[in-house]
Amino acid sequence: MQGTTADPSAARCGRRGFLKAAGSTAVGVGAIGATAGTASAQEDGAAGWFDGVDNFEKVVDKTGTKQIEVAVGAKGNGGNFAFSPPAIRVDPGTTVTWKWTGEGGGHNVVAENGAFESETASEAGHTFEHTFEEKGAVNYACVPHRSMGMRGAVLVGADAAVESEAENSSEESSPYGGWLDDVENFEEVIDRTGRDRVEIGVGAPGNGGIFAFDPPAIHIDPGTTVVWRRLEESEALTVVADDESFWTDFSGTDGETFEWTFTGNRVVKYSCPAYEQLGMKGLLVVGNPDLPSVGDVLSTPWGGALAGSGLMAVLSPLVFGGFLAVRKSRDREP
């Protein structure tokens, strides 16, 4: 079965609303999971910057040591999207070396105040170092995975405290806005990069029955085609994007498939509306969501022709160049 382009009409919206209402009546209201690490973050005075950083527990004291190593691409934030340890306290003159694990795709290390910036790398063993001479706190992040919670801080001196980030929204207080908090079979974002086609089961065991996608969360490259395959015969099992950019109705037999090709850099949330409140939700991390995207035009009927014309190859570097210019301009602001 081919992907069905969403119809933004009131009838479409009403249909999805009906399915969600029906699911609500059948299964009740799902619980919202607690934000990981929030209490600890508040105790350490780091609420804000470390909201949603699920491997943050406390600032690790590394004073008295002149050479410190921090892992890049450690386990955390739904995959290998963490620094470990994420927050350290050091003496002035300490050199911090960030060492890549080779997991989680391409990562970089960029100070929020512009003090340092590494290249983006993915190979295991790659290193980047910076010596901290002045007292104070330096927040840093991996730009491609910043919104996922891949953030860290170096506190230089005994009195330095983590600075909060004013622009953090409540949606960032839990990974992916809390979308996966009540998904029983979610453990981590599964790496499916490097593949042209990826399959997801619909109606897998989980969430109190056969109410799960398997796997529920995956990381894919732009241009990957995702195929959803029904595992059970049930007319209520459907696949609908949270923003209604794609949707399908299965006829009710097992083995049916629905597919969609994803391009651009973004996070895609979807669900089975009838059982969404039980936790039948899924998530796709497409490319590097914090980098600019020219959109999802390749998944439209005319997208292939546009790509074939070579115009996309021209637009992509122009948009990315504009992003870099804006970010560097921001870094230079006093």
Same domain? 191 vs 317: yes
Compute the distance between CA of residue 20 and CA of residue 7 in angstroms, rounded to an integer. Answer: 17
Question: Total structural domains in the chain?
Answer: 2
Closest alpha carbon to 89 in 163, 157, 141: 157
Same domain? 43 vs 152: yes
| 3-class secondary structure, 76 | strand
Same domain? 108 vs 162: yes
Q: What is the reported pLDDT for 10? A: 34
Residues spanned by the domain of 289:
4-32+176-322
- Starting at the edge strand found earlier in the chain, the sheet holding 266-271 runs 4-5, 246-249, 238-241, 266-271, 281-286, 217-220, 190-191
Other beta carbons within 10 angstroms of residue 135's beta carbon come to: 13
* Residue 315 within a domain: yes
CATH number at 284 reads 2.60.40.420
Q: What is the reported pLDDT for 327? A: 41
Residue 163's pLDDT band (cuts 50, 70, 90): low
Name the token pair of 63: 């004073």
Q: What is the reported pLDDT for 212? A: 94
* Residue 329 within a domain: no
Residue 280's pLDDT band (cuts 50, 70, 90): very high
Same domain? 89 vs 184: no
In this predicted model, what pLDDT tens digit does every residue of 104-134 receive, in sequence order? 888 999 999 999 999 989 899 999 999 999 9
Give the domain-ending residue among 173, 207, 226. Answer: 173
Q: Is the pLDDT of residue 201 over 90?
A: yes
Q: What is the CA radius of gyration of the chain?
A: 22
Same domain? 187 vs 284: yes
Whole-prediction pTM value? 0.48
User: If phi over 0 gives left and psi between -120 and 50 gives alpha, with beta otherwise, what is residue 325?
Assistant: alpha
